[in-house]
Amino acid sequence: MIWRSASGVGLAASILAAAAYATEDLGDAEAGEVVFSKCKGCHQVGAGAENTIGPHLNGVFGRKAAGLADFNYSKSLKRAGNSGLEWHADTLSAYLENPRAFASGTRMSFSGLKDPEDRTNVVAYLREFSDNPRDIPEADPTAKGTDHSVDPEILAIQGDPEYGEYLSSECTTCHQIEGRDDGIPSIVYWPDEVFVVAMHAYKNNQRLHPVMQMIAGRLSNDEIAALAAYFNNPE
C-alpha cells in the first residue's frame, strides 16, 4: 500500500500549503488586536462582551448589518442591513476604511483606518470571535476581500446605469427591486465592487448557484459593471 501512504503525504503537504497561504492572505490577528485598541472605547469583543456605546462584535461575520435585536442602530445601517448587507471581510474592511462613506448616517464616530494592512489585521482579529466564518477563505469572495481573482481593470470599469437598468429586468424576475428578501436575497445598494466580485465569482463558477452561474455566465464585464452601477442606487 505504498501508493496510498505516498498520496497521503502529498495530500497533507497540499493542505499545509493551503493553510499557510490562507493565514497569510487573511491577515495577522495578533497585529489586529493592537489595532483593535482604537475600537475598544466603544466595542467589546470576546467572552462576556456586551453592547456599550457600540454593539459587541462577537459573531459579527455573516451577521446582517444592524443585526443585533437589542442594539439601537442608526437608520442608515438598518436600511443597509434590510437591503442585504452582511458583514464579511470585504464589507467590514470597506466600512472601516471610511465609515461615513460606506453608511452615511452611521453613528460610529470614527474617522476610519486608512492603512489596508491595519484593516486586514483587525478583521483577522475579529474573525477569531466569530463561530461562523463561513466560506472562508475559498468559496465566498465577499468573505475574503474585494480584490482576489478579479482583474483590477475589470473592477475599474465604470458601468452605464441606463444599460444596467435595462439589464436589471432580467434580475428583477426573482430579486425584488425594493430590496425585500422572501427567499431570494436582496441585491440593491451593494457597493459596486462587492457586486462585481460576486458576479464574476458566479461567472467563473467559484460560487455555486446554478441559476446565477447561468445568468452571470453570459454577462460581459461591461454588463456586470452596468448592473453594479444601477443596483447600487436604483432610484
Partner 1 sequence: MTFNRRTFLGTASAIAAGLSAPMVLAQGKPRVVVVGGGAGGATAARYIAKDSKGEIDVTLIEPSRTYYTCFFSNLYLGGFQELSDIAHSYGTLAADYGINVVHDWAVGVDRDTKLVSLAGGGSIPYDKLILSPGIDFVEGAVEGWDISAQNKMPHAYKAGSQTELLKAQVMAMPEGGTFAMVAPPNPYRCPPGPYERVSMVAHVLKAYNPTAKIIVADPKPKFSKMSLFQEGWANHYEGMVDWIGEEFGGGNVSVNPDAMTVTIDGEETKVDVCNVIPAMKAGRIAEMAGVTEGNWAPVNAADMSSKADPDIHVLGDASQQGDMPKSGFSANSQAKVCANAVRGALTGSKIFPAKFSNTCWSLIDTDDGVKVGATYEATPEKIAKVDGFISQTGEDADLRKATYEESLGWYAGITSDMFG
Residues in contact with partner 1 by the rule CB under 8 A: 162-163, 166-167, 169-170, 172-178, 180-184, 210-211, 213-215, 217-218
Q: Which is nearer to partner 1, 156 or 211 (CB)?
A: 211
Spatial CB neighbours of 79, under 8 Å, sequence gap ≥ 6? 189
What lies within 8 Å, CB to CB, of 222 at 6+ separation is 157, 159, 160, 163
Taken in order 80, 146, 92, 217, the sign of the CA dihedral is positive
* 10 vs 185, beta carbon nearer partner 1: 185
Smallest distance from partner 1 to CB 164, Å = 11
Which cell goes with 199?
458576479
* Residue 162: CB minimum distance to partner 1, A: 7
- Residue number, 8 or 185, with CB nearest to partner 1: 185
Of 20 and 174, CB closest to partner 1: 174
Q: Which is nearer to partner 1, 4 or 218 (CB)?
A: 218
**Shortest Å distance, C-beta 126 to partner 1:** 28
Return the amino acid letter for 19.
A
Query: Residue 137: is the preceding peptide bond cis (ω within 30°)?
Result: yes
Q: How far is the CB of 122 from partner 1 (least distance, A)?
A: 33
Q: Between 131 and 162, name the residue whose CB sits nearer to partner 1.
A: 162
How far, in Å, CA of 220 to CA of 142, rounded?
20
Distance CA 151, CA 141 (A): 14
CB of 185 to partner 1, least distance (A): 8
| DSSP 8-state symbol, 183 | S
Residue 48 C-alpha cell reads as 462576556
Q: How far is the CB of 230 from partner 1 (least distance, A)?
A: 13
Least Cβ distance, residue 232 to partner 1 (angstroms):
19
Closer to partner 1 at the Cβ: 127 or 175? Answer: 175
Which residue carries 441585491 as its cell? Answer: 187
The answer to whether 150 and 157 are in contact (CB under 8 A) is: no
Residues 6+ apart with CB under 8 A from 197: 90, 141, 142, 146, 150, 155
